[in-house]
Amino acid sequence: MNGTNFALILFTCFAFGLPLWAMQANDYDGRDINGCSGECYEQWKEETGGVVAVSAAKAAAKAAAPPAELGKMAYIGCVACHGAAGEGGVGPKLAGQTMEAIADKLTRYKNGETVGSQSALMWSQASQLGSDDIENLAAYIVTL
């Protein structure tokens, strides 16, 4: 047996054996992704009001949230280039800019306008934002 055949046999054993072992070694019983059905589900439904009530509560919380809080959630997509504190990095520094300046730039990027040397990086990002998203992001960024 040469090294290639041995490696192929070893890989096959590992590739098929590991998932089979893992399925037997965990406590997943196959009922559903949460492992809760029947009486367990009914109890959860009593406690929370069910899926519709949970969704309605989430929507109400989002509607009641201040713009800066909503902007904070949206800013997660900005961190990689602009930094967690808006200090800049790949993208320019955002901290210290006014709400109006940030909203104006995001709107211009959304419209495909060239604002600076890295405009092409922002066009696709801003194209996904609605006017509320832009206002929320601007409200959050001024808090950085």
* The CATH classification of domain 66-144, taken from the options 2.60.40.730, 3.10.50.40, 3.50.50.60, 1.10.760.10: 1.10.760.10
Among 42-46, 69-73, 84-88, 101-105, whose mean pLDDT is lowest?
A: 42-46
* Residue range 34-47, pLDDT digits in tens: 667 788 888 888 88
Show the tokens assigned to 92: 């320019």
CB burial of residue 102 (10 Å; 0-12, 13-18, 19+): buried
List, for residues 133-142, the tens digit of each pLDDT value.
Answer: 999 999 999 9
Instruction: Return the higher-pLDDT residue of 97 and 47.
Output: 97
pLDDT reading at 27 higher than 90: no
Instruction: State the average pLDDT over residues 21-26.
Output: 60
Whether pLDDT at 26 is above 70: no
- What are the structural domain ranges in the chain? 66-144
In this prediction, residue 104 carries a pLDDT of: 97
Closest to 121 in 3D by CA, of 89, 73, 84: 89
pLDDT higher than threshold 90 for residue 49: no
Dihedral sign (CA 86, 142, 108, 63)? positive
Most confident residue range from 22-36, 44-58, 104-118: 104-118
Q: What is the pTM of this model?
A: 0.62
* Per-residue pLDDT, 89: 92
Q: With bands split at pLDDT 50, 70 and 90, how would you rate the model's confidence at 96?
A: very high
